[in-house]
Amino acid sequence: MIDLLSLAFSSFALIFPAFIANSVPVLARGKRPLDFGRSMPDGRRVLGDGKTFEGFGAGLFMGTLTGAIVGYPIHSFLLALGALVGDLVGAFIKRRAGIPRGGPAPILDQLDFVAGALLFVYPIYHFTIEQVIFIIVVTPPIHLFTNFVAYKLGLKSNPW
């Protein structure tokens, strides 16, 4: 039988750089969009104004730093980079679906960054299936809670 406390601790310790990388960009308040304001042939923005160079850089730096402090700089860099790329893929999908910036996309909003993080770190570290399941189950409520807090603090324009 799996020790749930041990599973929770190991899962959070390993994925934490991705959580940090996904959370920090909103604090950066970037002004330079990663898509340079460009639109796709469908007339919709590639990513939108919410995905900025400043936010990406801040997220990558803080996510990497988080893991480097505990001795895993390469892992944390890949987790942070994967989380940010996963979030960008989510934003791209939302724009193609006609969902505006800040519009809700349940599941996609909560798990795009986790999927990216797990994929990017996979070449050097394999999470156990139990860890992956645990992360997938606990991430949506954590993500919703932290977004609600950011909304109440005036950092986000919507609570999701």
Residue 158 lies in a domain: no
Print the domain residue range for 33.
4-152
Residue 132 lies in a domain: yes
The answer to whether the beta carbons of residues 95 and 48 sit under 8 Å apart is yes
Residue 141 lies in a domain: yes
> Tokens representing 87?
């979030």
Question: Sorting pLDDT into bands at 50, 70 and 90, what band is 70?
Answer: confident
Assign 52 to helix, strand or coil. Answer: strand
Helices 73-96 and 53-69 cross at an angle (nearest 10°) of 150
Residue 142 lies in a domain: yes
CA 141 to chain centre: 14
Q: What percent of the chain has pLDDT over 70?
A: 99
For the cut 60, the answer to whether the pLDDT of residue 4 exceeds it is: yes
Query: For residue 2, what pLDDT is reported?
Result: 64
Residue 49 lies in a domain: yes
> Tokens representing 139?
């991430």
- The average pLDDT across 65-84 equals 95
Residue 159 lies in a domain: no
| Structural domain total, the chain | 1
Query: For residue 121, what pLDDT is reported?
Result: 98
Residue 160 lies in a domain: no
